[in-house]
Structure 1
Amino acid sequence: MKAMAMSVRGMLLGVSEDKDFESGAVIGVRVDLGVRDETGRFRQQSYKIRGAAVGQFTAYMDDVVTLKLTNVSINSYMAGNRPAISIKADNAEIDE
């Protein structure tokens, strides 16, 4: 599934480089956001952002942010015996 734009809100828990496994080149970042759902359980979701740098996000660590993602690709897959989702975007802006 593709989306032109998407906004997600949560606590920025981590950011790391996303590398191409074949060439070893850095192709973007992986951002981890955490949020509590209606039942009080804590959920964490990762977002891959192509062309971004780790330094764009480190100042917002442990803050609640809204990520505005553009040109989003959403794919589902099986990870072992459980369903998983992959969310990749071409660009992201942060609103605090």
Structure 2
Amino acid sequence: MKSFLFFLILFLNSSFPVLSQSNLLESVKKNPNEANTICSKFREFNSKGISANDDKAIEYVSKRNNLTPVNAEIFSIYVIGLHCPDII
């Protein structure tokens, strides 16, 4: 019984990042104005030679949306893919 509970807890903990990523994608889909604002900032970064994957850009998204750096990077990828594929 203990090993079953251990595996159940292990499985549940591993599913939260997937749910979190799904919520990030939904937030990008539901807030196109926010995504467009972030695209504009990414274009500004690009004009200065800063990539959207650069630490400075990820930090901007992280602070703006109160996300961890990893989630900010995932969020950025979703924003770029859905709203501004011209960003590098």
TM-score range, shorter chain: under 0.3
After TM superposition, the score normalised by the length of structure 1 is 0.21
Structure richer in helix, relative to its length: 2
Structure richer in strand, relative to its length: 1
Q: Give the greater-gyration-radius structure (CA).
A: 2
After TM superposition, the score normalised by the length of structure 2 is 0.22
